[in-house]
Amino acid sequence: MPLTLTFTDTDELLIAALHKRARAHGRSIEEEHRDILRSALRPLPKRPLDDILRSMPDVGLDADFERRP
């Protein structure tokens, strides 16, 4: 579904940064803008909880984290 976005009252420094970034990537400003939106709004891949827990560093024994009165 085509959509046209119009931005008003945009900071000139932001516009200049968008131009610079587009040139650096060899893209049009419109394509650079699309890429920024895609990156910002793309859902993060889901990782299984056990994978996340295994990737955590070993920082001590369980007793090290016990509550003390």
Instruction: Report d(CA 25, CA 29) in Å as an integer.
Output: 10
Q: Is the pLDDT of residue 1 over 80?
A: no
Is this model's pTM higher than 0.75 or not?
no
Is 51 part of any domain?
yes
Q: Is residue 67 part of a domain?
A: no
Residue 7 belongs to some domain of the structure: no
CA–CA separation, 36 and 7 (whole Å): 15
Q: Would 65 be classed as within a structural domain?
A: no
Q: Provide the residue range defining the domain that includes 44.
A: 12-57
Quote the number of domains for the chain: 1
Amino acid letter for position 26: G
pLDDT digits (tens, 9 = 90+) for 36-55: 999 999 988 888 999 999 99
Residue 50 lies in a domain: yes
CA angle 20, 23, 26 (to 5 degrees): 155
pLDDT bin (cut points 50, 70, 90) of residue 69 is confident
Q: Quick check: is 47 in a domain? A: yes
15-41: per-residue pLDDT in tens? Answer: 999 999 999 999 999 999 999 999 999
- Identify whether 3 is part of a domain: no
